[in-house]
A and B are shown apart, each in its own frame.
Chain A
C-alpha cells in the first residue's frame, strides 16, 4: 500500500463524513404554519400567496405578504430583499426562515429565502385560441 493511497482514502473518508454531517444539518424540513410557530429552528413553510396582502414596507425595507397553508392557517411573511422575479404571478411559495415576534407582539415569519414558482410562464396551456369569458364580479 502506497502512502499516497492511504492519504487519498483518508481524505475521501473525511470529506464523506463531513458532507453527510453537513447534509443532515442543512436540510430544512417543510412544515405547516402551526409547526413553524412551534419550531425553535429554521423551517420552510409552503403556502398560497395572498396577493392582496403583498406590499413593500418602506419602514423596514421588506416585502410583507401573507400565506395560507393547506390547513387554512395564515401567517405574515417578512422577506428582506428584492421581490423575486416570478412573485407577481406565483400562486405558491416556500419560504425559509423562522417565526419571530414583532415589536407589536404579532408573530411574523422572517424569511431569508423564498422559492417562488411561476405557474404560467412555462405551462403547456399556452394556446392561441382562448374562448372569451365574461369577466364579472370584483373583490
Chain B
C-alpha cells in the first residue's frame, strides 16, 4: 500500500502540474489580451506590444506544456491517468515506427485530447499571425487570443488529467489480480489503429484552428471600420484554411473508404458535415476576397463570411461533442461534462451574438459596390454566383445537420418522440442542381473578364471547349447505358420479392442519367477550360495559376463523385473453401487461406489475431491489368480479426472487418466481408480427425446455425463424467444432449452420442462426442457435427466495382495543390505590404472610432 501511495502522489503531482499549466495559460492569455488592448490605445508605446507578445508566448508555452505532459502520459502508457487508461493500451507497444506514432497519436483519441490539439494549433499559428500582422497586430490579436482563453476554460472544466482512483487495501485483498497502476489500458479503438490516425486529426484540427484568423481580422475590420485593409492580409490564411480543411476532408474520406467497408467516402455524417460547412463558408470567403481585392466591394459579405465560418465550426464542434446527436452519428463521441457543454454554448453565443451584432451595427457603414460587373457576362457576376451558391450549399448542409435538434425542440412535449437525421438523399437532391450550376460557372469563368466581357470574343474562346464537352457528353450517355445494363445483369437475386424491392429502390433511371450526363459534361468543361487557362498562365506567371488549377481539380472531382457513386455495383456471395471460384464482374474469386494465427482454445470457432487477413486469389478478365502489377492472378486480403480479446465472456468478442482494394486505372475492385468467416466441419470426415472445441462451464457458442451451450457437468467420481449440453436449433427448438465418458478400472471410454432431433438433408442425425473433461475447471472438450456445420471456411463477401473513383482522389489533390499555390502567391503579395499602404486612417490607431466610414 505504501508503494501505491507513493505512485499515486507522484501522479497527483504530474496531474497538478498539467492543470496548473492550463490555468496559467488562461491567465497569461487574458493578460496578453489586456496588454494588446493597451497597445491599441497607445500606438506609440512599443513596449506594450513587446509585453503582449511575451505574454502570448507564455500562454503558448503553457498550452504546449500541457500537451506535452498529456502526450508523455499517453505515450508512456501511464495508466494512473484516466485519459491514458481509456485511450490507449499495451497492444500498441510494437517496435515499428507506425506504432510509436500511434502511441503518440492516442493523445488526441479522446475529447479532451482533441480540444488540446485544437488549442495547441491555435497557439502555434498565433506566432505566424502576430509576426505577419504588421500594424494590425494589436487589433487582431485580442480576438484571436480570446479563442485560446475559451479553449483553456473548457480544458479546465474538462481536464484530461483525472486520475484512476487508488482502490482501498481491503479491495486489493478481496480481488486477486488487481494492481496499481492498472496493468493495461482499455486500448485504442481498433478503427483508429490506422496510419491515418497519425495525420488526419492534426491536419483537420490545423484547418479548424486557422479559422480563427479570418474571424479575428474580420472583427477588427468591423470595429475599426477598415473594411478593405484586412483583405490582402487575411487571404493567405483563408486559402490555408481552405487547403488544410480540404486535405483533411480528403484524408477522412479516404480513411473511411479504406477501412469502413461500405465502399464510400462520404456519408453526410454530422462529424463530416461539421468540417464541410466551415469549408464551404471559407471557400465562399476566398472568392469574396478575390472580388474585394480586385474590384472592391463585397465588404459586407466578406466580414460576415469570416465570422460565420468560424462560428459554423463552433456549431459543428458543439453538435459532435455535446452528445446531442449521439443517436445519429456513427462517430459517437461520448457526451462531455455539463460544465464544458455550457462553456461551448457560451462560446457559440458570445461569438455568434457579438459577431452578428457588430456586423449588423456596422452594416450601414460598410461601403457597398456600385455594380456587380457591368453586364452579367462578367467575371464579377460569376464570382458573385460562386459565393451565393456556396452559401446556399452551406445552409443546406447546416439545416440537415441540425435537423434533429429542431425536431426535438418542436416535439418537446412528446416524451416518445425520437429525432431522425435526414437521409443522404436530402443533401444530394438540392445539392445536385446547385453543383450543376456551379460546374457551369466553373466552366465559363476562365473566358470571362472582370467588369465586362466582349460577348463575341467570349463565345469564340468557348466554342472549342464547348464542342469537346458535347463530345464527352455523348460518350457519357453511352457509358451510362452500358453501366446500367451491367447493373441489371448482376442484380439477379434469388428471392423474387427481395429483388423487386431492390429494383424499385434503384431510382428513376431517366432523371439519373440526365443528372449524371449533365454534371459530368459540365465538370469536364470546367476541368478543360481551366486547364487551358492554367497552361496559358503558368508560362508567364506560374503562381497566378493556383486558383484555376484548383478549379481543374474541382471539375475532375465532380465527375468522380457522381460516377463512382451512381454506377458502383455490388455483388454478395459466400466464398467456400474448396468449392471452386465465385464470379463477379468477370473476375474469379478463390479462397486461398487465413494469414493469421488462430487463437488457442477455439479451434471450432476460431478467432484470429490482429494480423489476420482472408487471402482471396483473384483472376481478372484477360484484358485487364491492375495498377502496379501484371500478374495473371493477384491476391486480395480483406481483414477479419478479433478486436479485443481481453473480454470476460467469449460472446463479447467483437470482430473488425477491413476491406481490400485493388486499384485499376478506371475502377477499384473493393471487397469486404459481410460477416465473420465461419469454419464448418465436413460431415463425412472420419470422426477422429475432427479437432474438438473446448467449452467452459456455462459457456455457449454459435456453431453454424446452432448454438451449443454447456450447461453443467455431471457424474459419479471414479465411474463416469459427462457434460450436459443444450443445443438451440435455428427454428428455436431446444435439444438436450448428455455425452459422457465412462471410467472402468483405469481406462476411459467415450461414445458418440447421437442427437436424433437434429438431422441433415440426408437424414443423418447429428452427434456429439465428449473428448475430455477437465476435473478441476470442468472445461469440456467436445466434437460435434451439426447440419451445415461442415469443415471448410465459408467467407461471406461483398464485392463492389467502383468506377472512376480515382478521379475523386486526383481531383481533390489537384484542387488542394492549386489552393496552396494560390496561398503562396497571396502570401508573397502580403509580404510586400508595408504599413504605408494599409490605408491612411489606420494611423489613427486608437479606440476613438472614425466618425464616418472612410471613403475609398
Contact = CB atoms under 8 A, between A and B. Distances in A.
Given A56-B674, A89-B652, A128-B182, A15 B426 contact: no
Interface stretch (B221-229, B327-335, B620-628): B327-335
A139 B728 contact: yes
28 contacts: A2-B371, A3-B376, A15-B433, A19-B399, A19-B430, A22-B430, A26-B425, A46-B418, A56-B796, A61-B796, A62-B498, A82-B672, A82-B798, A83-B674, A83-B675, A85-B260, A88-B653, A88-B655, A101-B497, A102-B495, A117-B332, A122-B333, A122-B334, A124-B334, A126-B86, A128-B182, A135-B649, A139-B726
Given A26-B422, A101-B497, A139-B734, 11 more contacts: A11-B437, A19-B399, A22-B426, A27-B420, A61-B798, A85-B260, A102-B495, A131-B175, A135-B648, A138-B699, A139-B711
Contacts of B186: 126
Contacts of B567: none
Given A61-B572, A96-B423, A8 B384 contact: yes
Contacts of A117: 326-327, 332
B91 to A, nearest CB: 15
A81 B189 CA distance: 23
A5 B380 CA distance: 12
Contacts of A81: 262, 570, 572, 674, 798
A67 to B, nearest CB: 15
A88 B796 CA distance: 16
B307 to A, nearest CB: 20
Interface in A2-21: 2-5, 7-8, 11-12, 15-16, 18-19
B422 A23 contact: yes
Interface stretch (B66-74, B199-207, B685-693, B702-710): B702-710
A95 to B, nearest CB: 12
B85 A126 contact: yes
B511 to A, nearest CB: 13
B396 interface: yes
Contacts of B403: 23, 27
Interface string B349-393: 000000000000000000000011100100011001100110010
A103 B497 contact: yes
A58 B675 CA distance: 10
B674 A78 contact: no
Nearest to A23: B426
Interface string B486-500: 000000011111100
B505 A112 contact: yes
B794 interface: yes
Given A58-B794, A58-B796, A85-B260, A23 B399 contact: yes
Interface string B322-347: 00001110101110000000000000
A74 to B, nearest CB: 12
A36 interface: no
Contacts of B501: 98, 100, 110
Contacts of B380: 4
Contact of A7 (B376, B422, B426): B376
Nearest to A90: B654
Contacts of B328: 115
Interface of A: 2-5, 7-8, 11-12, 15-16, 18-19, 22-23, 26-30, 44, 46, 52, 55-56, 58-63, 78, 80-83, 85, 88-89, 94, 96, 98, 100-103, 110, 112-113, 115, 117-118, 121-124, 126, 128-129, 131-132, 135-139
B429 interface: yes
By size class, the interface of chain B is 35 or more
Given A58-B574, A81-B798, A129 B178 contact: yes
B261 interface: yes
Given A27-B420, A61-B573, A110-B501, A82 B376 contact: no
B804 interface: no
A103 to B, nearest CB: 6
A38 to B, nearest CB: 17
A12 B656 CA distance: 45
A29 B418 CA distance: 9
Contacts of B675: 56, 63, 82-83
B392 A4 contact: no
A94 to B, nearest CB: 8
B430 A15 contact: yes
A121 B392 contact: no
B778 to A, nearest CB: 12
B724 to A, nearest CB: 10
Contacts of A113: 423
Contact of B711 (A78, A110, A138): A138
Given A4-B381, A81-B262, A137 B389 contact: no
A64 to B, nearest CB: 10
Contacts of B496: 103
A98 to B, nearest CB: 8
